[in-house]
A and B are shown apart, each in its own frame.
Chain A
């Protein structure tokens, strides 16, 4: 307990009753222990202020103190605070029953309020995270880019763009997932990009193999030849065996879809189409004058299928 109640309240020794009361209220309002639950010294401060006020607000005791008959401790009223054996309001309010007087926004005690529920990106309850949504896009990819692999820019409808790496061998309907490139959140969502592969005037795809029709002349088919064949990674030279025909299928090993991971490269297949070409009087004469032509009907297969 302070020895000088005037010093405790910060007033002069000739202060009026009104000044005493005013100084007391000013100090007491900031040190009431229930208003200062985080300050363990508030209670002691509050008791000192009250004792000083009690003494100085009683004219008789103030006069005795001024004459030096009693010291600053001589209070007769009970000290402030709950009666012995009872808990203060702050002890109740900070205990498990405290939520009885929760302020309106608190709802139930599991609701942690805005700051804590935003903490670590977690909501009050475990498991629920503020994940960003996935976003779906469609990307048109050229046939050769899809087969060989490429990087292509996707312009997003909501603005911005994504550089999409297309691995070799993509087919229409397959979906590329770009982690974290979807809607914002914690964690951000993914961008799901469905690939739409275009067609090609020359090449067709069947699994990992590439097919094309290869026109050849009558002479190339009959006599055999070395011809240049387009493939997905440039022209190559191929031998047409002597006596080939329309429908003859020749394989170019490893010239299909490139190897990816543990999947081996596919093959390319050239299906020959014998072309007669422009009118050839010499050829016509040879065929007309020929006396030993073999008896052969190319429509036999049609007839037997009917």
Chain B
């Protein structure tokens, strides 16, 4: 995990004030350490994504939270789907797996 000071010098195109604003909007949720924010890898990647959406793709401030929310739902659904396929893969008998594959192939 890295601090806000480290973050703004190591990641291109991130402005300290803007990062604090995005935290206040809860678009990014870093860990609250005793001496300030601590950013995990996923937080850094998300900040980079927010920056790209906001500037490279010119999404405005009002559309951005909606995009993030839909994106979070998309990834949650994909994680659920992954869990389901893993469960079927690891625990379902072979004939069930075959039946599912056949049904999805139709």
Contact = CB atoms under 8 A, between A and B. Distances in A.
The judgment on whether A and B are partners is yes
A25 to B, nearest CB: 6
Given A100-B29, A103-B72, A112 B80 contact: yes
A86 B80 CA distance: 25
B9 interface: no
B71 A92 contact: no
Interface residues of B, number: 30
B57 interface: yes
Contact of A94 (B49, B53, B57, B82): B82
B41 A28 contact: no
Contacts of B73: 103, 105
A97 B80 contact: no
A63 interface: no
B46 A37 contact: no
Interface in B55-103: 56-59, 67, 69, 71-80, 82-84
A92 B45 contact: yes
A34 B83 contact: no
A224 B80 CA distance: 89
A178 B71 CA distance: 49
A95 B53 CA distance: 21
Nearest to A36: B74
Interface of B: 29, 40-42, 44-46, 48-49, 52-53, 56-59, 67, 69, 71-80, 82-84
